[in-house]
Amino acid sequence: MIVPPISLRLPDAMAEKVRRIAALEHRSFAETVRILTDEAIKMREFPEIVFVDGPSGRRARLRDGLDVWEVIEPYIEAERDWGSLRDSYPDADEGLLRAALRYYEAYPDEIEARVALNRGA
């Protein structure tokens, strides 16, 4: 569900930063604000997650450096088996693996699209 348009006032310095990001990414101001807001909400929900740029666009990454889709791929391939996920990353902190799993459960379409993109490569 998309809510009706809202009015938003930003301090001049913040608005200028949004304009710069929008220009660099060839997006509208409104779309850039929407993307930034979406990422901020996700990072608030999942403090272990950050967003990074790459050749295939921005993606969710665990703070330790692994992309969430990379962590979750073996879990998906093993028909959502925790043991397979754990075995795939024996040296990884269990809390981070569980954070990746919680993120996937909250945003499955995002992560499954990344996994599919990787399979296609």
Q: Cα separation of 91 and 93, whole Å?
A: 7
Q: Which domain holds residue 19?
A: 11-45
Q: Cα separation of 85 and 58, whole Å?
A: 24
- pLDDT given for residue 50 in this prediction: 96
**Number of structural domains the chain divides into:** 2
Q: Cα separation of 78 and 90, whole Å?
A: 16
Residue 2 lies in a domain: no
* Residue 96: closest CA among 116, 71, 76, 75: 71
Domain co-membership, 34 together with 70: no
Tokens of 98: 């569980």
One pLDDT digit (tens) per residue for the chain, 121 residues:
777 888 889 999 999 999 999 999 999 999 999 999 999 999 999 999 999 998 888 999 999 889 999 999 999 999 999 999 999 999 999 999 999 999 999 999 999 999 998 887 5
Q: Cα separation of 44 and 40, whole Å?
A: 6
